[in-house]
């Protein structure tokens, strides 16, 4: 457990020291507090909020206003972890100006310390523009859910030699552009290892094997609070959904039988 504030500088330091980086998603104040007090290095207000909190069937529909709403709540619960806002679909794709304005909103309105963008060489100009504004950028390669319609589904990426080579080139370009780290989603572990070796910035894996410099997962997945779709790479550490369902059923039964409220809960 750590008690000191994590900054962007810690990412490279941790890679140099071969000390693994932990990152989890949060979308609200209570979860942010729990993650932060466990000493997790970084909290990502992911656009996965669209699927696990807002009921959309993809992240495509998430708006900037929704992201800011959730990021503001998370900010209040995070003291030490590094807080990253996930730029939603169409908040940066159209222009460098959009990218700067919306990254700026994460920092100015929600108190985030960095933003994440999906894409490789195609987003280098956006990365540089955001960095020019003084905002650190985390890259995201491999399975990039905002491009699900182009990729043709949620599939493992970089399985053939050509697409693997392209991912390596993309990672190098993101490092050159100034990213402080790169998320690698759903790629073969050996490819992630090659990228990890090639970069001096950390790789943060999600479904990318053990060789990455850090790991990120969707918190709702690891606690069993979202079961509509459970990716193979997720490890379930708790079954909160079952506990919550049981509590709700017990409350209903107590109300219907008249055993709640009892004397202890009355004035
Ligand atoms: O939105 C998200 O939660 C993410 C992570 C899973 C990397 O992008």
Evaluate whether residue 84 is within a structural domain.
yes
| Same domain assignment for residues 230 and 265 | no
Q: What is the pLDDT of residue 229?
A: 82
Quick one: 194 and 132 in the same domain?
yes
Examine residue 63 and state whether it is found in any structural domain, yes or no: yes
> Is 146 near ligand 1, meaning CB less than 6 Å away?
no
Give me the residues of the chain with pLDDT under 70, please.
Answer: 1-3
Pocket test for ligand 1, best of 44, 67, 157, 192 (most atoms within 8 A of CB): 44
Instruction: Count Cα neighbours of 242 within 13 Å in the Cβ-side half-sphere.
Output: 6
Residues 157 and 257 in one domain: no
Q: What is the pLDDT of residue 241?
A: 97
- Span from the CA of 267 to the centroid of ligand 1 (angstroms): 46
Please tell me if the CB atom of residue 25 comes closer than 6 angstroms to any atom of ligand 1: yes
Residue 29 falls within a domain, yes or no?
Answer: yes
Is residue 22 domain-shared with residue 67, that is, in the same domain?
A: yes
CATH number at residue 48: 3.20.20.60
One domain, residues 93 and 182: yes
Residue 3 lies in a domain: no
Asked if residue 124 and residue 26 are part of one domain, the reply reads yes
Q: Is the full-model pTM beyond 0.95?
A: yes
Answer yes or no: is the C-beta of 219 below 6 A from any ligand 1 atom. Answer: no
Q: Is residue 39 part of a domain?
A: yes
Total domains in the fold of the chain: 2
Same domain, 26 and 55: yes
Whether residues 161 and 184 share a domain: the answer is: yes
Q: Residue 1's pLDDT is what?
A: 45
228 falls within a domain: yes
Q: Catalytic residue among 109, 185, 249, 263, which? A: 185
Q: Look at residue 227 in the predicted model and tell me its pLDDT.
A: 86
Atom 1 of ligand 1: nearest residue by CA position: 46
Whether residue 2 lies inside any domain: the answer is no
Is 25 part of any domain?
Answer: yes
- Ramachandran category for residue 90: left, alpha or beta (phi over 0 → left; psi -120 to 50 → alpha): left
Q: Which residue has a Cα nearest atom 8 of ligand 1?
A: 46
- For 123, the domain range is 9-236
Task: Tell me the CA–centroid distance for residue 47 and ligand 1, in Å.
Answer: 6
Dihedral sign computed on CA atoms, order 62, 81, 192, 162: positive
Does residue 27 sit in the same domain as residue 98? yes
Residue nearest to atom 2 of ligand 1 (CA): 46
Residues 132 and 114 in one domain: yes
Q: Is the CB of 206 under 6 A from ligand 1?
A: yes
| pLDDT reported for residue 58 | 94
Q: Is 185 a catalytic residue?
A: yes
Residues 213 and 254 in one domain: no
Task: Mark whether 52 and 152 lie in a shared domain.
Answer: yes
């Amino acid at each position: 457990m750590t008690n000191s504030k994590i900054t962007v500088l810690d990412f490279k330091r941790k890679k140099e020291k071969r000390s693994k980086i932990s990152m989890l998603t949060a979308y609200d104040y209570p979860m942010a507090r729990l993650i932060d007090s466990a000493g997790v290095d970084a909290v990502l207000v992911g656009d996965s909020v669209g699927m696990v909190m807002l009921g959309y069937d993809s992240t495509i529909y998430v708006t900037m206003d929704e992201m800011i709403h959730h990021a503001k709540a998370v900010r209040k619960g995070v003291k030490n972890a590094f807080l990253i806002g996930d730029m939603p679909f169409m908040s940066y794709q159209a222009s460098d100006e959009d990218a700067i304005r919306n990254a700026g909103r994460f920092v100015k309105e929600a108190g985030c310390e960095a933003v994440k963008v999906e894409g490789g060489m195609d987003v280098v100009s956006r990365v540089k523009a955001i960095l020019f504004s003084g905002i650190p950028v985390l890259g995201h390669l491999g399975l990039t859910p905002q491009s699900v319609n182009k990729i043709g589904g949620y599939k493992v990426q970089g399985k053939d030699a050509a697409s693997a080579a392209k991912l390596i080139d993309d990672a190098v370009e993101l490092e050159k552009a100034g990213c402080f780290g790169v998320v690698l989603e759903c790629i073969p572990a050996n490819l992630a290892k090659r990228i990890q070796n090639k970069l001096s910035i950390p790789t943060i894996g999600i479904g990318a094997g053990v060789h990455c410099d850090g790991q990120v997962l969707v918190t709702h997945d690891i606690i069993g609070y979202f079961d509509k779709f459970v990716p193979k790479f997720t490890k379930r550490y708790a079954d909160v959904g079952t506990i919550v369902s049981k509590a709700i059923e017990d409350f209903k039964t107590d109300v219907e039988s008249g055993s709640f409220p009892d004397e202890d809960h009355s004035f």
